[in-house]
């Protein structure tokens, strides 16, 4: 089997393996950096942005990194699941639909 999913990538901070010495936020930041680079490569190839799916991506990021990520994906059609960040997202993007899940029920006000 071949392909990029078979590649082993090593991320380092100051020469240290992030898998062993990085915080959860640093690991998440490294993974997101790779994803943002991948988005740009796809855009170059197909001349359009791919659809970006992000699941609970903000939970381990500080406000500075949350804002950076939102700025970086502002032109990309994105589907984001998260909790407790309504103000951060609602006031920043034109949103087609916003769904709330509460008590096992899905609502779209």
Q: What is the CATH number of the domain that holds 71?
A: 3.40.50.300
- Tens-digit pLDDT profile for residues 77-89: 888 887 776 667 6
Write down the pLDDT at residue 48. 93
Question: For the chain, how many structural domains are there in total?
Answer: 1
Q: What's the whole-number mean pLDDT along residues 28-43?
A: 91
Q: Give the long-range contacts of residues 79-88, CB within 8 A, separation 24 or more.
A: 79/51, 79/52, 79/53, 79/54, 80/54, 81/54, 81/55, 81/56, 82/54, 82/56, 82/57, 82/58, 83/56, 83/59, 85/58, 88/58
Q: What is the pTM of this model?
A: 0.71
CA angle 36, 42, 46 (to 5 degrees): 150
Domain that holds residue 49: 4-107
The H-or-E segment that residue 13 falls in is strand 12-13
């Amino acid at each position: 089997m071949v392909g990029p999913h078979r590649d082993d990538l090593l991320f380092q901070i100051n020469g240290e393996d992030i898998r062993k010495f990085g915080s959860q936020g640093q690991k998440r930041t490294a993974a997101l950096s790779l994803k943002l680079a991948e988005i740009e490569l796809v855009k170059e190839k197909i001349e359009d942005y791919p659809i970006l799916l992000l699941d609970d991506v903000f939970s381990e990021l500080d406000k500075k990194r949350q804002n950076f990520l939102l700025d970086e994906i502002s032109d990309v059609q994105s589907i984001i699941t998260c909790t407790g960040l309504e103000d951060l997202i609602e006031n920043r993007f034109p949103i087609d639909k916003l769904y709330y899940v509460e008590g096992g029920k899905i609502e779209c006000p």
